[in-house]
Amino acid sequence: MKKIYLTALLAAMSALTACGEKVGRDVDTPREIQTEAARTSVQTTTRTTNAPTKTTAAATEVKKEISKDIPDEVFFETIDAIEVYEEVTAAELIVNTNAELTEPEKMISTDKLGECSVSISFDYEGVLYEKEIKYNVADTTQPLILNMGWSPYAIIDEPFDLSSIVGYADNYDRSPELSYTGEVDTSEFGVYPITATVTDSSGNSTSWDMEVVVVSEAPAPEDNNARVNFSDFMDYYCYENVSYGIDVSAWQTNVDYEKVKEQGCEFVLMRMGYCYGEIKKDDYYDQNMENATAAGLDVGVYLYTTANTEEKAREQARWIVEQLDGRQLDYPVAFDWEEWGQFQQYNMNIRDLNSIFEAFCDELEKNGYSGMLYSSKNFLNNFWENKNNRTVWLAHYVDETDYEGQFAIWQASAYGRIDGIEGDVDMNIRLNDMPL
């Protein structure tokens, strides 16, 4: 999967495109409806140094004591500011190519802002030296707007709360400040233009214009999406070496998996549970697992989670292991985090959630299972880091995805119809060449 580091300069998110005319909609997930103003560009900042091109893993063994009287000909990089969370090694701080660091790959800490220091040891002309180097860590990245007002409604005669209708995050600050200019008078019906601004603790800010509509009741979203038969879905996405499947939860009741399999479905990814404060098992999980397995379908599970700490993620991973009770799966366990609408209420920064996903996977691996990441194209491109290249389950409702990262499963439609299931079902394509 394409790596996106948190040192990247993130601006506002890419707008989701209009509906497609064939099988899928050219949007990401049904919950991610954004405006044209929500476009994002990702710019990677590269800091150049005069770091040595040659270092050794260990200095020549020296019998002399460590000296702090550094010769004048040994020079060190002067760093005005390192970007917060930037990955910098000790080797980047020294510019004399003849000085051999004892720990050239030592990472220096960039987890907090302000002046920091690191002690490094190096060998120069047979003498072992030690030096403390001071450096400054700064945050120059603007906050990221996740929801610019998908449902910009305020209710008549109720206090106006902008935070309830927008979502935002920062690379470092867990509680950036939201403000706006303009007036929203909830005592009168009408349309009120405002300019919203999110500012982080380092003074970086992102602003955008929006219109708030004062109404008596927020209108229900319209559903004009065409429904697609599973057989037509397979015919349209007719690729080599793929498998076709569905994902289900309690929204799909009493699934007849024998009928589902007869129509060409080969796998089922089922919701095991969901968590809003506490974990609850999906009402139909046990039935889905028993009947899908009996029908000979490959199976996998996912958890819809709102975990905002690593410990919560590990606890949820252990809960999944307990429910499986040794059952072997055909797919990794999917981590499904989608609460982008008011992300700020979870008191996390962007890096936190990436670390939470890794903790979830790590706990699964301790118990013999593996994890994968479920997300839309926009968030895979602009939010998720996926340092360890976990399996990706891509949600992108288009006729042909242009996502450039690696993925093993593609959820290409949320409006499928298949005999054996009443109502809509998500339809997926497994790329068999991609390892799970």
pLDDT confidence of residue 35: 32
- For the chain, domains (ranges, CATH) are 9-33+224-431 (3.20.20.80), 40-138 (2.60.40), 144-215 (2.60.40.10)
pLDDT confidence of residue 318: 98
Termini Cα distance of the chain: 13
pLDDT confidence of residue 77: 64
Lowest mean pLDDT among 27-36, 332-341, 380-389: 27-36
Lowest mean pLDDT among 32-46, 134-148, 339-353: 32-46
Whether the predicted pLDDT of 56 surpasses 50? no
pLDDT confidence of residue 97: 61
pLDDT tens sequence across 74-106? 777 666 789 999 999 888 877 666 778 889 899
Q: State the average pLDDT over residues 114-134.
A: 87
Whether the predicted pLDDT of 286 surpasses 70? yes
Whether the predicted pLDDT of 178 surpasses 70? yes
pLDDT confidence of residue 72: 73
Q: Which residue has the higher pLDDT, 347 or 48?
A: 347
Is this prediction's pTM over 0.85? Answer: no
Q: Which of 29-38, 76-85, 220-229 has the highest mean pLDDT?
A: 220-229
Q: Which residue has the higher pLDDT, 289 or 116?
A: 289
**Residues 202, 206: Cα–Cα separation, whole Å:** 12
- 165 and 152 in contact (C-beta within 8 Å)? yes
